Structure 1
Amino acid sequence: MTDALKIVGLGEALFDVFDDREVLGGAPLNVAVQAHALLQAARQGEGIVVSRIGADARGARLRDDVAARGMAIDWLQVDSQRPTGTVLVTLQQGEPHYEIVADVAWDFLQATDELHRLAETCSAVCFGTLAQRSDAARSSIHFFLERAATAIRLFDVNLRQEYFDADILAASCQLATIVKLNEAELPQVVAILATAGKLPASSTAYASLDDQAAALREAFALRALVLTRGKLGTTLYESAGKATGEPVSYPRDANADSVGAGDACSAGILFGLLHDWPSERTVQLANHLGAFVASQPGATPTLPAEIMALVR
């Protein structure tokens, strides 16, 4: 599958608001932006952001930023009543902490005939828990996923504040072909699902991350499970076993933060799987992407030639 690929980021599109700046953000948007860069480098398709923004100055900036990257803005719905989403970001010992503003435009993403057609033709889609905090957006996301039957459907868990529960986690795992989480989220998700009776109760007794990953992958018949471990890199679990790669590092910008590093990793995983790469090569790309974004300010920095060379 290498012709006219479409990788969709489905859910929140917003601005991460730091003390001194505002930068484009939202995990699905971040994935789509980096996937677009990879696909354009390989001359094989596009990344697409599906979200809803306000009819306000931030919404106009977001559309302009997406368009300036050569990406389509057709899938950015405009809400005349609610503002463009924002997240207040603070860094504590270098790690980002988020205060997510509620009742914003992307909470009211609408299912449309156009989204139906996109779902049927996309190659892959990435979604998370946050955009499912409202009934309206959750219904629209499920609408899309149910129609994306032939696509790789990556559930990038991204637990945020109180915006998740066992039902959302279980339904998302059932709609996904791949689940991605970090080493803190994996035991938490396993415990939540086991307590709710959606995983075998014995799952909570698994001491190792490997066993927990296997329990989750097998319970939901997933094609793969992706585990990120910060500086230790990414592990890809599939039926044939697991693949890991050597940790990667890039020179750190003075204003670097780790926002978006996991999303860049997701873009790399999707690119590799869509090209049927060996698992080790896919993990290598994911590790490079995550490490580079973690070395830079903001979630969607321009990717360097070193990374682009990995996909050409």
Structure 2
Amino acid sequence: MTILVIGEALVDIVDGYPHPGGSPFNVAVGLSRLECETVLAAQIGNDSYGTILQRHLAESGATLALLDPVLERTSSATATIGEDGSASYEFDLTWNPEAMPDPAVFEAVHIGSLGAALMPGANRVAELIATADAMGLAVSYDPNVRLAVEPDPAFWREVFETVIPYARIVKMSDEDAAVLFPEEAPEDLARRLAGEGKLVAITLGGAGAVVAGGREVGGADAPSVAVVDTIGAGDSFMAAMLSWCAAYSWPAGDQLDDTELTDLAEFSVAAAAITCSRPGADPPRLSEL
């Protein structure tokens, strides 16, 4: 079984040092470290930053499907770390792939973040997930709202409404939820979206996460860790959630009871906590969980 992950791969500049990053890139690394066969479809430049990214993918066991055109300069994001370990970003990003892989050779497709939002590449991503959904593949989605790239919440709501009909598995942070659905509490939002047969997780930072499927809701508190930074924590949660779903043959949300949802939440929160305990987007391996 192979999972296709599509979207941006970039270098996070933290305190002047480059670290591999980009939400889809981090998810692909996290999935591979959790022993799920994974292919990342991304644009990476033929430069020193590109070499960092390709080496990191290879060391984690993920495969790169390099999308044309090859960038002259690998995308980057300059991260500023707050006192609580949270990160904010300034982006230098190009996303203009000419074509996408054939989803027919995969069992699941994950999209999200800027790769699902920025034109012209977002149009090709939308076409691919419509095809994948029609084939019966599990499509997962993390909106990963970035107001530093596009400050208008209406833009992100439009992207969400474009993607959500095709997504069986959805994960977002409480910060994403506050932008997309400012009038709804996270648990109410998760329950509403899950009522459409989806599996929905909303992460709550230090308070853990809530996971809903059908009429059932589960959740988990976050383990107590010394937080170095939160870079890649949500992506580690997403990777763990997908690896759990892969082990259970991609269940629809309404196939899971509250005990299973809680098990999923605890597994995914643990992965995120480990990532918070070390610098940069460094998701755990299966042996650590």
Mapped partners of 1:84, 1:15: distance in 2 = 8
Q: Which residue of 2 aligns with 1:296?
A: 278
Q: Which residue of 1 aligns with 2:252?
A: none
Q: Percent identity?
A: 24
Contact 2:37/2:62 (<8 A) preserved: yes
Mapped partners of 1:209, 1:72: distance in 2 = 35
Runs of 4+ in 1 over 6 A off after TM superposition: none
CA RMSD, 1 decimal: 2.1
Contact 1:226/1:235 (<8 A) preserved: yes
Mapped partners of 1:81, 1:186: distance in 2 = 32
Picking from 70, 75, 78, the partner of 1:85 is 75
What 5-or-longer segments of structure 2 have no aligned partner? Answer: 249-255
Mapped partners of 1:98, 1:172: distance in 2 = 24
Picking from 108, 111, 124, the partner of 1:124 is 108
Q: 1:295 to 1:47 in 2, by over 3 A?
A: same
Q: 1:281 to 1:166 in 2, by over 3 A?
A: closer
Q: Which residue of 2 aligns with 1:51?
A: 42
Greater gyration radius = 1
Mapped partners of 1:67, 1:21: distance in 2 = 20
What amino acid does structure 2 have at the position aligned with 1:244? G
Return the offset for 1:187. 3.3
What do residues 93-120 of structure 1 show as CA deviations (whole Å, max 9, x unaligned)? Answer: 2210010114x2xx112324xx01xx12
Q: 1:152 to 1:304 in 2, by over 3 A?
A: closer
What do residues 41-92 of structure 1 show as CA deviations (whole Å, max 9, x unaligned)? Answer: xxxx41221111112221222222212222222x022534542110010012
Q: 1:59 to 1:170 in 2, by over 3 A?
A: same
Q: How does 1:114-263 map to 2 (within 5 A)?
A: 115-116=101-102, 119-149=103-133, 150-161=136-147, 162-163=149-150, 164-191=155-182, 204=183, 206=184, 208-218=185-195, 221-250=196-225, 252=227, 256-263=228-235
Q: Which residue of 2 aligns with 1:42?
A: none
Q: Give the structure-1-normalised TM-score.
A: 0.80
Return the offset for 1:37. 1.0
Mapped partners of 2:104, 2:164: distance in 1 = 20
Q: Give the structure-2-normalised TM-score.
A: 0.86
What amino acid does structure 1 have at the position aligned with 2:30? Q
Contact 1:179/1:222 (<8 A) preserved: no
